[in-house]
């Protein structure tokens, strides 16, 4: 299942550049323009931030767009044509925002005591529009309808709730960092994804956002299993939801990008080589324990889950790569990764649904 798509950059200062991107001339700290070729030192960063600002303007998010444009000014020489153009553009946005405030004030005066009610209705409408954007709603309904037709309403509802709450984990994590993010889009046969705009964030933030989906999924699956234990039902909806949640979220920890970028592939970027080896060892240990419990069991049954071997091989492969985090990197991502594997693995074995 796909989870997040990253596109863009925001709120992240670029790394200090000491070599001109064009002619490789050495540059002292604070140099904004190469003295030899006049190339803007941070031109790539400026292009990224400008693209974000333009995207926000298209979405009518003028205050956020203004903030993005303002972020470009410290990286431009004050006397350049580009800086003057951006300052003028910010003034135009200020005028637009002031006009909106004036219009709001006029309507507040006209409506008198009914103004708070009108404001509430406008905000409610805006939230409903945000919640039910066309691509989110239509893909959600199509996803649910297809699986209902194929496997029945109980499976379809359990699956769509599991996937939706998993994706909302990513959505909330991105929102908490103040980054632009779209609501989930569902793709029958694959899963869903959340598109957000933030290339260039730190490895740790990328790892937290990537694992936020499985963390939300684990919490939901545990709650569903708890409800099933306390109140068994027929059809066993909550039992099914717990099993699907454990399976889907464990699968999403696959650490290699294959056709789609799994959450585990993105989170692994924040792991050191030794941490990757330890995660692979945990998966191998879990696989060995599940096999030894009942060697004659069905390979997809409650005691044998080859998914752990797949995860171990994938993480072992990533341990051989060059994209490892530096030694001394905070171990929070490593701890979360390990906890997810153990907790989801235990729940997967415990919540096995007969016939699946």
- pLDDT classification of 353: cutoffs 50, 70, 90: low
Collapsed DSSP state (helix, strand, coil) of residue 306? coil
On the 0-12 / 13-18 / 19+ scale of CB atoms within 10 A, 189 is: exposed
Question: What would you report as the CA-atom Rg of the chain, rounded to the nearest whole angstrom?
Answer: 25
Predicted confidence (pLDDT) per residue in 22-45, tens digit: 777 777 877 878 787 777 877 788
Of residues 234 and 135, more confidence is placed in: 135
- Say how many C-beta atoms besides its own lie within 10 A of residue 54's C-beta: 13
Predicted confidence (pLDDT) per residue in 187-222, tens digit: 888 888 888 776 557 888 888 999 999 999 999 999
Instruction: Classify residue 51 as left (phi > 0), alpha (psi -120 to 50) or beta.
Output: alpha
Identify whether the C-beta of residue 17 lies closer than 8 Å to the C-beta of residue 42: yes
Identify whether the C-beta of residue 9 lies closer than 8 Å to the C-beta of residue 49: yes
Kindly state the DSSP code that residue 295 receives in the 8-state scheme: T
Is the model's pLDDT at 296 over the cut of 70?
A: no
Q: Which parts of the chain are beta strand (E)?
A: 4-6, 185-187, 191-196
Predicted confidence (pLDDT) per residue in 84-105, tens digit: 888 888 888 888 778 777 666 6
- pLDDT classification of 61: cutoffs 50, 70, 90: confident
Q: What is the pLDDT of residue 261?
A: 74
Q: What is the pLDDT of residue 235?
A: 60
Q: What percent of the chain has pLDDT over 90?
A: 20
Q: What is the pLDDT of residue 60?
A: 75
Work out the mean pLDDT of the chain and round it to a whole number.
79
Predicted confidence (pLDDT) per residue in 6-21, tens digit: 444 445 677 788 787 7
Predicted confidence (pLDDT) per residue in 246-261, tens digit: 989 999 999 987 666 7
Identify whether the C-beta of residue 3 lies closer than 8 Å to the C-beta of residue 191: yes
Q: What is the pLDDT of residue 83?
A: 83
Q: What is the pLDDT of residue 11?
A: 53
Torsion of CA 347, 349, 352, 356, to 10 degrees: 120
Q: What is the pTM of this model?
A: 0.61
What residue spans define the domains of the chain? 19-127, 132-350
DSSP-derived secondary structure for 84-127: HHHHHHHHHHHHHHHHHHHHHHHHHHHHGGGHHHHHHHHHHHHH
């Amino acid at each position: 299942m796909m989870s997040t798509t990253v596109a863009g950059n925001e709120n992240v200062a670029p790394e200090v550049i000491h070599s001109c991107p064009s002619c490789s001339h050495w540059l002292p700290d604070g140099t904004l323009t190469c003295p030899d070729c006049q190339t803007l030192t941070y031109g790539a960063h400026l292009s990224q931030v400008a693209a974000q600002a333009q995207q926000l303007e298209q979405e009518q998010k003028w205050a956020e767009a203004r903030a993005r444009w303002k972020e470009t000014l410290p990286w431009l020489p004050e006397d350049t044509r580009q800086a003057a153009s951006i300052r003028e553009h910010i003034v135009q946005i200020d005028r637009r925002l002031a006009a909106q405030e004036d219009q709001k004030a006029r309507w507040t005066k006209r409506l008198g005591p009914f103004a708070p009610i009108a404001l509430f209705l406008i905000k409610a409408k805006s939230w409903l529009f945000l919640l039910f954007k066309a691509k989110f709603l239509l893909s959600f309904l199509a996803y649910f309808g297809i699986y209902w037709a194929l496997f029945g309403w109980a499976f379809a509802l359990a699956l769509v709730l599991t996937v939706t709450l998993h994706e909302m984990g990513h959505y909330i994590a991105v929102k908490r960092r103040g980054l632009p993010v779209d609501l989930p889009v569902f793709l029958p046969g694959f899963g869903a994804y959340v598109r957000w705009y933030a290339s260039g964030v730190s490895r740790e933030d990328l790892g937290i956002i990537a694992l936020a989906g499985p963390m939300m999924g684990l919490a939901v699956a545990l709650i569903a299993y708890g409800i099933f234990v306390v109140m068994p039902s027929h059809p066993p909806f909550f039992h099914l939801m717990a099993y699907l949640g454990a399976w889907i979220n464990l699968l999403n920890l696959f650490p290699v990008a294959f056709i789609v970028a799994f959450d585990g592939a993105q989170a692994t970027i924040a792991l050191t080589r030794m941490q990757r080896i330890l995660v692979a060892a945990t998966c191998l240990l879990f696989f060995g324990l599940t096999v030894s419990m009942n060697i004659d069991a069905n390979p997809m049954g409650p005691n044998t889950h080859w998914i752990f071997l797949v995860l171990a091989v994938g993480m072992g492969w990533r341990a051989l790569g060059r994209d490892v985090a530096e030694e001394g990197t905070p171990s929070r991502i490593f701890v979360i990764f390990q906890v997810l594997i153990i907790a989801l693995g235990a729940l997967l074995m415990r919540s096995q649904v007969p016939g699946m």
